[in-house]
Structure 1
Amino acid sequence: MIVNLTTLDQDQAIEQISQLEPQLFGTSAWSPNAIRQELNAPARTYWADIDPTTTPGNPVIRGYAGIWFDGYDTQIMTIGVAPQHQHHGIGQTLLQQIIDQATADHAERILLEVRVDNTPALTLYTKNGFTRIGLRKRYYQPEGIDAYTMALPLNPHTIGFQPTHA
């Protein structure tokens, strides 16, 4: 079940996300303080996939995703799914939530960076229409792993003259 992260206790959500981060992103993982800053930064929206079998008041986060919308582009800040819940459609559901929100926001496109060696994520993004638009050398630190920049056009601007209809 996808919920807006603002509906959850923030300290509890940060604790769970900070436990997942190193499992998912290794040395590039966000610290609890970085997660708190990101959740409270302007123009950010975050969602969590909650295990529906957990008790009310004590939700278990199976996955999470967040965006930054600058009024033109939606930037995917992160998508993460707990290892034991991967390959069950949670990443796809979170990505669809992002696409739906970006569409509702009238974003021109969705942008992201992804490790060049993250085959599951590359497959997910490609399957959903994202294309590579660039390469950021040594983007992921401290390992120095390159990142592809990818984009999904939603409402591209037409450059030049528009035909008129009489």
Structure 2
Amino acid sequence: MAWQLRRAHVDDVDAIMVLETALFENDAWSPAMMARDIADPACYYLVAFPPDEPERIEAYAGLLAPRGANQGDIQTIGVTESARGKGLGRTLMQALIAEGYKRGAREIFLEVRADNPSAQRLYTRLGFDELGVRRGYYQPDNVDAVVMRLTIVPPHAALADALPLVNPKESL
């Protein structure tokens, strides 16, 4: 299946919150928090949908990366169960990393639930390294967060207009 990505708007908050509360039952963001982030110019949020059904949001992801800052932070990512395992999470992450790079970030951080090995594998494949653990970070479930960091490798001079290399360990 193919998806189309576009920048999220405050009008998308209701649809995003349907996914947010379904995917993250106990630690979902509030609609006010989501709307604030989506409207914040320091943030960059995307939604993914089937090209012929733009109202059917299948995934969303957000990045906090103020322009000119050296660091960015993946705020959230959510993919419907039916869209998992098809590369959509990777596509969203790569788009956020590329945007972070354009904004000046050379490091991207994230927290991931310790009980979510599939997400951890995705982030590791993208080049993120584990930095440590925040005990009991996800409440009320009292689940640890694994803190990860990606150091973005700038493109080669010949590829100056290309996207940054996300994981130089992966072959193209």
- Fold-level similarity (TM above 0.5): yes
Note if contact 2:44-2:96 (Cα within 8 Å) is conserved in structure 1. Answer: no
- Residues 117-140 of structure 1: CA deviation (Å, up to 9, x unaligned): 111110110111101001111111
Residue number among 5, 8, 14 corresponding to 2:8 in the alignment: 5
SS at match of 2:104: coil
How far did residue 22 of structure 1 move? Answer: 2.0
- Contact (CA 8 Å) 1:106, 1:155: kept in 2 or not? no
Q: Is the 8 A contact 1:39 1:45 kept in 2?
A: yes
Cα RMSD of the aligned pairs, angstroms, is 1.6
C-alpha change, 1:155 and 1:128, in structure 2 (3 Å) is closer
Q: Specify the structure having the higher radius of gyration (Cα).
A: 1
Asked if 1:66 is matched to 2:65, the reply is no
Deviations 1:21-73 (A, max 9, x none): 1221121011222211221234111011121121xxx5211111111114120
Unaligned runs of 5+ in 1: 157-166
Number of residue-to-residue matches in the alignment = 149
Q: Residue deviations 1:80-128, cap 9 Å, x none?
A: 1111111111101101101111222231200000001111110110111
8 Å contact from structure 2 (residues 138, 144) kept in 1:
yes
After the TM superposition, list the runs of 4 or more consecutive aligned residues in structure 1 that deviate by more than 2 angstroms. Answer: none
- Partner of residue 43, structure 2: 44
Partners of 2:47 and 2:87 in 1: how far apart? 14
Q: Does the 8 A contact of 1:107 with 1:155 survive in 2?
A: no
Matched, 1:103 2:101: yes
Contact kept in structure 1, 2:63 and 2:75, CA below 8 Å: yes
Which residue identity is paired with 1:5? A
Q: Any stretches of 5+ residues in structure 2 without a counterpart?
A: 155-172
